[in-house]
Amino acid sequence: MGEACDDLFENALQQLHQAFEHIDVSDDVKALLTVPKELVTFNIPVRLDNGDLKTFTAHRVHYNDAIGPCKGGIRYHESVCLGEVKALSFWMAIKCALVNVPFGGGKGGVQVNVKELSKAELERVSRGFVRGAGDFLGPDKDIPAPDMYTTSKIMLWMSDEYNTIKGSYQPAFITGKPIELGGSEGRETATARGAFFCTRELAKAKELDVQKTTVAVQGFGNAGSYLAAMLHDYGFKVVAVSDSQGGIYKKAGIDPVKLKYMKKKWKLSIPELAKDMKAKKITNKQLLELDVDILAPSALENQITKKNARNVKAKYIVEVANGPTTPAADTILEKKKILVVPDVLANAGGVTVSYFEWVQNKEGYYWDADTIDDRLEKIMVPAFHRTYELMTEKKVSMRTAAFLTAIQRIAKAVDAKGLIGV
């Protein structure tokens, strides 16, 4: 796991150095962006329900805070490692700068299998994270949020622990909370909605006939399931979807809303529902190599690599997951003229609505769902077109174009502050 973990951060740095080739920034900026500003690794001791004591390794990384306080999710997964958290915090810094949200990049993770914990044990881990991170967190320093296997309930436990430690109510400490307790409308669907706006604008830019445009969505979690439903409702033909157990394919199209309902009601995996959906079972590997117009990887990182990139037949890729495509795969996809809408743009809806929640918490005034969606669209659509136009102008990949915009904004903040202020 260690080598693969380090590889993920090296992939992120490769993307950065590719962008450096097309932009004139100071050596100071380059030096600051190639390493995290600071990080903390600690162990969370938890008393299990059976009386045993178990420790869980946790990380929190501040990558860069030149633009504003760090922002980023906390993921719970048995494969969590420092290299992964560093990479994710780096991408978050790029993402916030790209869509002009006044945050820097942060990320956290706990090496834990949540399926092995009771509700009470999960709460102890969550409260322990806040105690362990200590003064590393705060509403004007580092604002956490949900990520893989973390929920609004977990955010609430963390918020309550922080309030207890500080002795005051500070809702802006964390985002992704339940709506009834300081959360924002639209947060649950934000990542998917941002990706939907990007996919819709891509279709317009390429003059695609939406009704005939086929889509495969890898990953049917929060982001993937909502995105599939939004695309289906808009008129795209969603022909394949998958979860961790595999997927299904149906040439005539799949109704994602019906599939989600059945999956939840019967507690079955997507492949187990193939017969009910009148679809064909496929593996995740097969889904990535389907002959479709748009592929939306919405699961884990490193899904498209040099091993399978040559077999990818999609004309366009919209990266909903973080880091689903390796740099080596990017090179192959570029040669095949497959346009990739990069993760730092495609999934930026999540951090944007997290920013909205933070603002609402600060103001003590809350917006309705239509206002949230409207404001998200006004950020995502211009960001897509600025990136698309820069890609065309500079004759670079859309990923590199996104990095150029982000690096330039961070560089201006660094140069304005000077090294002491960063």
Same-domain check for residues 232 and 148: no
| Catalytic hit among 37, 86, 95, 107 | 107
pLDDT at position 4: 65
In a domain, 180, yes or no: no
CA 133/CA 138 separation, integer angstroms: 10
Q: Quick one: 12 and 157 in the same domain?
A: yes
Instruction: Give the chain's domain count.
Output: 2
pLDDT band at 420 (very low <50, low <70, confident <90, very high): low
Q: Which of 314, 341, 368 is the last residue of a domain?
A: 341
66 lies in some domain? yes
Domain extent at residue 57: 2-16+23-169
In a domain, 300, yes or no: yes
Same domain, 9 and 145: yes
DSSP symbols for 327-378? HHHHHHHHHTT-EEE-HHHHTTHHHHHHHHHHHHHHHT----HHHHHHHHHH
Residues 239 and 109 in one domain: no
Q: Residue 231, CB half-sphere, CA atoms under 13 Å: how many?
A: 37
Rounded average pLDDT over 33-60? 98
Greater model confidence, 1 or 116: 116
- The predicted-structure confidence for 47-75, as pLDDT tens digits, reads as follows 999 999 999 999 999 999 999 999 999 99
Residue 5's identity, in one-letter code, is C
Token pair of 304 as six digits: 């498209």
Its pTM surpasses 0.75: yes
| Residue 148 domain flag | yes
Same domain for 38 and 164: yes
Q: What does the alpha-carbon distance between residue 152 and residue 169 come to, in Å, rounded to a whole number?
A: 17
**Are 158 and 9 part of one and the same domain?**
yes
Q: Is 365 a member of any domain?
A: no
Is 251 one of the annotated active-site residues of the chain? Answer: no
User: Rounded to a whole number, what is the distance in angstroms from the first to the last CA of the chain?
Assistant: 32
Domain end among 318, 341, 364: 341
pLDDT at 66: 95
CATH classification at residue 276:
3.40.50.720
Examine the domain organization and report whether 210 and 165 are in the same domain.
no
Together in a domain, 198 and 305: yes
Over residues 298-325, the mean pLDDT reads 96
Q: What is the CATH number of the domain that holds 160?
A: 3.40.50.10860
Does residue 376 sit within a domain? no
Residue 153 lies in a domain: yes
Same domain, 111 and 43: yes
Starting from the edge strand earliest in sequence, which strands make up the sheet with 104-111, in order?
38-47, 53-64, 104-111, 70-77, 142-146
Q: Check whether 172 has a pLDDT greater than 90.
A: yes
